[in-house]
Every structure is written in structure tokens, then in C-alpha cells.
Chains A and B, each alone.
Chain A
Amino acid sequence: MSAAAGTERPMRSRRPAIERPGHEAVATKGWLRAHKWLLMRRLSQALILAAFLAGPWLGLWIVKGNLSSSLTLDFLPLTDPYLLLQSIAAGQWPYREALLGAGIVLAFYLLAGGRVYCSWVCPMNIVTDAAAWLRRRLGLKGGKVPSAHTRYWLLGLTLIAAAATGSLAWEWVNPVSMLHRGLIFGFGLSWGIVLAVFLYDLLIASRGWCGHVCPMGAFYGLLGSRSLLRVSAGRRTECNDCMDCFAVCPEPQVIRPALKAAGQSHPLILDKDCTNCGRCIDVCSKNVFRLTTRIDRSES
């Protein structure tokens, strides 16, 4: 550790961008505009959580239940389609509310981009973003990152495990649903699993959980692979190769094809792994990126 910190010092003076990405953007655009999407995203996460917590904390029952399945204003059912899929794989057919709820959620993410769930809704995002931020600030390198395909394998295998055991096997350990349920209904010992994810992302694998392991993210990624809402590197001719977008992006591999026209001609980020978090839009001092639709292939 001390050896790593020793080699880190000269690095910091040479390339501050890696540890403080977005520095330039703050200087040119101002702090607020350089954090616009991040703030909106945190606001979205906080508001969703607040809506769930207003009931148990203040007695204001806006939303009952949790992200697995909920009822908003005693009227709108919403159900996590991945969870419902596991339940169906385990051999149980749900009531109409759950199917309707899952249908509404499916329709939304089909349009908005599946991994919008990951970056705008999922409470685990705050944990792993914190781990990624701390890892960057501490200059931690190395570790062992599993293949990014692991999540798709795990997605398939969680469904097979559900069918084989006839129960929601993944829900025994799923840190994502456990964190949200814990916040609303009480943690028990499950904070330990959340801490494990934080430490895994911090010490072992950079962006390991959300970017490589989480089968829920994989499910939503597949769901949104043809989504309408997309980030475009429309003004990519302005790019000055500062690498800030790569440093902050939770799925850095999705940027290159659009920004550097590698394997595609248009500037749209169409990779299903992109979470539409908009952080690249924030940190770019040259305003290369913008949120648009997949039809918009214009450059400028």
C-alpha cells in the first residue's frame, strides 16, 4: 500500500485529470453546470427514496412496498420485471397487478434505456459511485476485475437457479433489493452485504459490482438495448482528448465507438451497457456530449 502511494505522488502532479476529472469543465462552465446531471441524478435517487420513506417515517403513504413491488397512491402498481421473471422461472404465476406493474416498468425502460434504472433509481448506485470516487481520490490501482460478461452469465444462472431450487434463490443474497428493502423495512445483518459490495468496488475491482457482476444491471441493460433515449458525442470534433469522460464513466468501453468513430460512423452511444447517467456531459469542458434520441445522428 505504501509503495503504491509512493508511486502515486509523481502521477498526481503529472495527470491531475485522472484523480480530479471535470476540473477543466468546472473552470470553463462553472461548478453547477459541470455537475448538472450528477445533481439531477442524485435528486432523482433521493426523491424516489424519500417517496418510499415518507410512509414509514412521516405517515405520508405516497408509495407502499419497495422497488421489488410497490403501490403508488393506492393506485399505480409497479413491479421489478427481473424479480417477477425469477418468480415465473421458479414456477409461480403472479396476479394481474404484478404483471401490469412489471409491464409498466418494462415499457418505461424500453424507451428510456434499461440502465437508467441503475444510474437514476437504484440505491446501490450511490454506494458504488462513492466507492469509485474514493478509489479515484486515494489513487488505488490494481485488483482483479472479472470479465464484464460475468453479469450476463450470472443473469442466466440466477434464472436457472430459480427454476432448479423452485425459489427466488438470488434474492437470498441480492445486495440491490436488500439495500432498498433495508432502508425501508430495516437492515438486520444485510448492511454487511452492502458493505461488502462497497469494499469490493473500492479495493478489488474498479466499478466491479455494477459494471461486471450485477445480474440486475445485466437484465436492465438487455432490456434497454434498443431504447430511444441515448447519449450522443455530437460535437466530437471538439474533443481535446482530456480523458475526463473515460475517468468518470462507469462503463468506459461504451464511449470509444461514438467518440472516436471506432467501428461506427455516427456519434451515438448505442451500447446497452451505457447507463444514461450523463456524467460525461457534465465533465466535458468542450460540451461534446448531449442527451438525445437514437434517431438523432447529427454532428454539431
Chain B
Amino acid sequence: MNTRRPASAEPDRPIQPRRRFLKEMAGAAGGACLLSMGVGMIASEASARPATALRPPGALAEPDFLAACVRCGLCVRDCPFDTLKLAELGDNVATGTPYFDARAVPCEMCEDIPCVAACPTAALDRDLTDIGQARMGLAVLIDQETCLNFLGLRCDVCYRVCPVIDKAITLELVHNPRSDRHAMLLPTVHSDACTGCGKCEHACVLPEAAIKVLPHRLAQGKSAAHYRKGWEEKERAGGSLIGEQTQLPMRGLEDRNYGDTRVAPDYRPATPDGGLDSGWKP
């Protein structure tokens, strides 16, 4: 009893400050909780970036990049072509992170990759030593309706400016079904060589580029892991995996190759009077 007396003599003193302290702490914790939860939600919501905003070469996959990049801008400073810029609030790219818009200024693919060398935090991976191995995005000839080469002209600008010409972009010769007598040389991008530098998108002569560099996530599909291509398997195995197939004779086609079902294999179209064989020589 004696030991408890001082406490009962001043019943409010030790309790009130503690209660106020607890209340204050709860308020502080609650407020901080709310604020940081809001921030966390903004962060996960806003981590989607516009497809045209490309990351510098060697950038980690986007979620890892957002964790590793400290928004210092050293890569921007060491970019000799002012390609890279830091996202400002309102650019819809994580604030303070580096990106470039290929249509405005494409990546010039410096051989010494100064932006990667400048990054102190491994957001840009130094394992990338050959800029040819960079995968900033993938060029896609996205609009075949306006592309001049698809219209049968020889624009070829995207092909000509490509730093990996004839590997990343080739011109594929295709019959022009509209005129029925010309060829179309179609710019065709190959994902195994395209670095996503964006020079093709930058150079496209149209008011809105018909070829655009997109993030791989948008530009590419993904084959299911169990899919096999018969012709590749056959080549690897050195022959058909399922043995020779029984080939049933087809009435009327006995002396033809298997699968040749043309009605008249010897047919040649009649030579027209003008056109291709008009006899005109330059």
C-alpha cells in the first residue's frame, strides 16, 4: 500500500503525458502511414511509361530500373548528343529518370557508351560493352498504309540511316500486286540485330513516322516454350523425326512432285504487247 501511495496522490500526472504521447505517436504513425501508402500507390500506378519514352542503353528491366536509378542525371550530362533528358513532373515518365524520345533525338550509339559508364548505381548495366548488343526497344514498321516503300516507292530512308544496315533493317523484295508489274522493297526489321536506337523513326520522312521504336513488351509476341518448328527440328535431326510418310497416288497427278496440284504446270502467261517488254531501253 505504501509503495502505491505516491501514485494515487497524483493520479493524473504520470498518465496524462503518456496518454498524450501515445495519442501523438498514433497520429504521427497514422499520418505517415497514409502518406507513404499514397506514395506507394502513386509509384506502382505511375510506373507505366509512354511507349515512345525509351530508356538509355543498358537500362535494367523497368521495375529494376526504377529501384536502381537515383535520378542524378549523370548519364544525361555525359550524353554527347543531348539525346537523354531527365523526366520532369508531368512528362508521364517516373520523375527524374532518364529517357529519350527517338523521334526528337535518337541515340547515336557511341562506341564507348558514356551514359553507361557514368551511371553510379548499376541502373545502366556495365556488362553492356558492345553498343550493338543494346536493346533500348525494337523498331516496328507500324503503318504499312502510309509507308512510302509499301506504296511502291523507293524511299528507303529508314534502311539507309540504320547503323546496323542490312542486319537490323533489310529491304525485302516483294511483288507489287497493285501494279502487278513492279517490285516493292519492304523495310523489314530483325529483332536479333535492332538496338532500338531510333534513327529510323527519327529519319522517317512522313509527318508522323511510319516506323517507330517500341518497348519489346509492345513490339514482340512470345512463343510458347513447348512450340517446335518442324523444319528446324528436321534440320537438327538430319531427317524427318517421324520417318518417311506414305504418299498416296492422286489420280491424274501421278507424274508430278508430291503436293504439286497446279492445273497446268507448263503454263506461261502470254507476252503482252507493251509494258515490261515494250522494248524501250534507257
Contact = CB atoms under 8 A, between A and B. Distances in A.
Contact of B90 (A91, A181, A189): A189
A157 B27 contact: no
Interface in A148-193: 149-150, 152-154, 156-158, 160-162, 164-173, 177-178, 181-182, 184-190, 192-193
A147 B28 contact: yes
Given A146-B27, A147-B24, A147-B25, A91 B36 contact: no
Nearest to A84: B70
Given A172-B39, A185-B88, A94 B120 contact: yes
A79 interface: yes
B70 A165 contact: no
B32 interface: yes
A91 B67 contact: yes
A165 B43 contact: yes
Interface string B141-181: 00000000000000000000000000000000000000000
Contacts of B121: 69, 79, 84, 87, 92, 94-95, 98
Contacts of B74: 64-65, 69-71
Interface residues of B, number: 49
B67 A146 contact: no
Residue of B28, B78, B90, B121 ringed by the most chain A CB atoms within 10 A: B121
A93 B122 contact: yes
Contacts of A152: 28
B132 interface: no
Interface stretch (B91-99, B219-227, B266-274): B91-99
A103 interface: no
Given A69-B72, A168-B70, A154 B77 contact: no
Nearest to A158: B36
A184 B43 contact: no
Interface in A36-74: 55, 61, 64-66, 68-71
Residue of B32, B69, B78, B122 ringed by the most chain A CB atoms within 10 A: B32
Contact of A190 (B64, B89, B119, B120): B89
Interface residues of A, number: 60
A170 B42 CA distance: 10
Contact of B71 (A94, A149, A160, A171): A171
Contact of A168 (B32, B35, B67, B88): B67
Contacts of B68: 87, 90, 92, 94
A187 B88 contact: yes
B279 interface: no
Contact of A184 (B33, B44, B73, B120): B73
Contact of B89 (A79, A153, A188): A188
Contact of A165 (B44, B122, B123): B44
A161 B43 CA distance: 9
Contacts of A181: 71, 73, 86, 96
B120 A95 contact: yes
Contacts of A169: 36, 39-40, 42-43
A64 B47 CA distance: 26
A80 interface: yes
A91 B90 CA distance: 27
A77 interface: yes
A11 B74 CA distance: 52
Q: Which 7 A-B pairs have the closest CB atoms?
A: A188-B88, A69-B72, A90-B67, A153-B32, A157-B36, A92-B68, A167-B66
Given A64-B118, A153-B31, A185-B73, 15 more contacts: A61-B77, A92-B121, A95-B126, A149-B24, A153-B33, A167-B43, A170-B36, A170-B39, A172-B39, A178-B96, A181-B73, A185-B85, A188-B87, A188-B89, A188-B91
